[in-house]
Amino acid sequence: MELTPELKKNILDSYIRGLGLEPAKLTREELEKEIINYISKNHICVLCTANKNGVPRATAVDYHNDGMTLYILTEGGGKIENISENPKVAISIYSPHKGMRSVMGVNYEGEARIYTLKDKEKAMKAFSLFKEDMEQFKKEMKGINPPPPDLMKIIKITPKKVRYICFAKGIGDMEWKVE
């Protein structure tokens, strides 16, 4: 037996009905608003990359968003090397849950671009999203400066497809795609 899209939908709808709810029917705009609301309240994700040979890497990172677009600030490492070779990425953002009613999260499929300070206009907008994070770093790390700005990179994730689940709102597995 295989889990077909139809069977998956039927199973998830039965879970929602089992919670005493009806499966939600959202417009694209309503779904996008739900996703943005969710990702704006969370700031940790798992970024999945793969190098040119398909060797995967999953990295927990902090992020900020501007609408549906995600930004990650990093000093570099394997994720940057992988993105340089293969810009296709996946991201998972989820909430801890106990019981079916609290199941909630998003899965992104998207394209990543790397920006540095050399990309002034695009980088400065993204760097501004991390201003509070950098101030917090300086407070916590008394006397230790953050890495030099020339070392820092911004990863911009442009979504192609996003799946959202929120059983408490009757959303079993809705898909948003770029138009």
pLDDT band at 130 (very low <50, low <70, confident <90, very high): confident
Kindly list the distances between the CA atom of residue 179 and the CA atoms of 27, 138, 152, in Å, as whole numbers in the listed order: 14, 41, 32
pLDDT at 133: 85
Per the CB < 8 A criterion, the answer to whether 162 and 107 are in contact is: yes
pLDDT at 117: 82
Res. 33: pLDDT tops 90: yes
Identify the three-state secondary structure at position 164.
Answer: strand
Give the pLDDT mean for 69-74. 95
pLDDT at 144: 82
Alpha-carbon gap, residue 109 to 94, rounded angstroms: 15
Phi, psi of 54 (to 5 degrees): 85, 10
Give the pLDDT mean for 34-53. 96
pLDDT at 145: 77
Lowest mean pLDDT among 57-61, 147-151, 160-164: 147-151
Which CB contacts under 8 angstroms, 24+ apart, belong to 48-51?
A: 48/89, 48/90, 48/91, 48/92, 49/78, 49/79, 49/82, 49/83, 49/86, 49/89, 49/112, 50/82, 50/86, 50/88, 51/81, 51/82, 51/85, 51/86
Domain ranges of the chain: 5-177
Per the CB < 8 A criterion, the answer to whether 163 and 31 are in contact is: no
Res. 131: pLDDT tops 80: yes
Give the pLDDT mean for 21-41. 97
- CATH 1.10.8.60, applies to 5-177: no
pLDDT at 63: 97
Give the pLDDT mean for 153-171. 96
Average pLDDT, the chain: 93
pLDDT band at 143 (very low <50, low <70, confident <90, very high): confident
Give the pLDDT mean for 79-102. 95
pTM greater than the 0.85 cutoff: yes
Per the CB < 8 A criterion, the answer to whether 109 and 148 are in contact is: no
